[in-house]
Amino acid sequence: MAGGAPQGNSNAKRAKLWRAALERALARAVKKGSKTVEKGLDPIADKVVANALNGDSESWKEIANRLDGKHTTVLANDEDNPLVPDEIVVRVVRPKPKKKK
Give per-residue pLDDT as tens, 64-88: 988 888 777 666 666 776 667 778 8
25 falls within a domain: yes
100 falls within a domain: no
Residue ranges making up the domain that contains 44? 15-68
Write out the DSSP string of 22-34: HHHHHHHHHSTT-
Counted domains in the chain: 1
8 falls within a domain: no
47 falls within a domain: yes
What's the pLDDT band for 34 if we cut at 50, 70, 90?
low
C-beta neighbour count of 74 within 10 angstroms: 9
44 falls within a domain: yes
C-beta neighbour count of 28 within 10 angstroms: 13
Query: pTM of the entire structure?
Result: 0.50
